Structure 1
Amino acid sequence: MVEETQPGQPRDVDELPDRLWTIPNLLSVIRLALVPVFLWLLLGPEADGWALAILVYAGVSDWADGKIARLFNQTSRFGAMLDPAADRLYTLATVVAFVARDIVPWWIAALLVGRDVVVGICIWVLGRNGFAPPEVTYIGKAATFNLLYAMPLLLLAQGSSDFATVVRPVAYAFAVWGGALFLWSGVLYLVQTRAALRSSARPAPI
């Protein structure tokens, strides 16, 4: 549900402590710094094993920094912005590399990137009208879960080995379900944004 921010009321991110030197932030910075290395490994030497290791680190550290932040009270404004940025860059780098190597068709990549552009516009429009971003839905979380599994599995599915043959249908199943849920969560963002803007346009009751 999209909730309107009252005048003078800080956003949730703005209410977080303004600190940089925390373990979760360090994990996120390392994860972010490895994005160009990950992309080079996929497109340069095509060292899929090392690229897969970085992708696994990205997934594990993404889970770990959230746990550490909550357990040891190390949440921060910087971390709240850095963590999703790193996730988005990994997704974008993987999609670009997969298209370049013909692992996925370009139109699928265009749909996924287009969805993120639409969501970004929705968040910007909501902010301009005094609304906080919509809460993450279970559909969005399920989409992320499926796509996080699909990416390394698609790498493992490359080649003509027996192992790749076994992994391939599982990888595409995760990719199809994750992509469909990802697009559907984008539609929900549009619905929530429209509902919020319409509610703000109604005249206040007398």
Structure 2
Amino acid sequence: MQKHRQGRRFATKKPIHTANREVLLFNKPFDVLCQFTDDSGRRTLKDYIDVPNVYAAGRLDRDSEGLLLLTNDGSLQHTLTDPTQKTSKTYWAQVEGIPHPKALENFASGLKLKDGLTRPAKVEVIPEPEIVWERTPPIRERKAIPTTWLAITLTEGRNRQVRRMTAHIGHPTLRLIRYRIGSWTIDGLNCGDWRRISLG
């Protein structure tokens, strides 16, 4: 597995279609920005990836973790980020409390958020995934209140959507990890590591 910490030059333009396609899977740690520069000195992609001319295909919030795909291929980036393509993504959400099954059933018909009704989503209660790593800093847990892990699959990508959906049913998200984008997952990829993938 390839892991890089320092680089010399990074993309300043959006990716374009190229015969030499670079496609990377990155397991983004908590508190890392999905960009290569930051005037405030916060951690960014350049602290982990030294491949030039690649850009994130989609976003992952600074306080979220998990799979981020980077590429220099504009057509692939468009496919993954275009809402009409309905690219499926799965998230692992650790939420406060134990959601009632009836509340989770509402995900299938859509939840009415401030920006409108969400598309139907899949949700299931799961055990804590074995590959989950320790977060730094750890989440704040209240001893008297249990937590639950949910696997939530969406085909849209509104701003902070998973967090807003779990809050809507009364169970705030304490930790959020993106596990899958399309057919790609973070299986075998440690937190903070990246690898090139083959598109066949």
Question: Which protein has the larger Cα radius of gyration, Structure 1 or Structure 2?
Answer: 1
- TM > 0.5: no
TM range (shorter): under 0.3
- TM-score w.r.t. the length of structure 1 is 0.26
Larger relative contact order, structure 1 or 2 (CA cutoff 8 Å, min sep 6): 2
- TM-score w.r.t. the length of structure 2 is 0.27
Write 1 or 2 for the structure with the bigger share of strand.
2
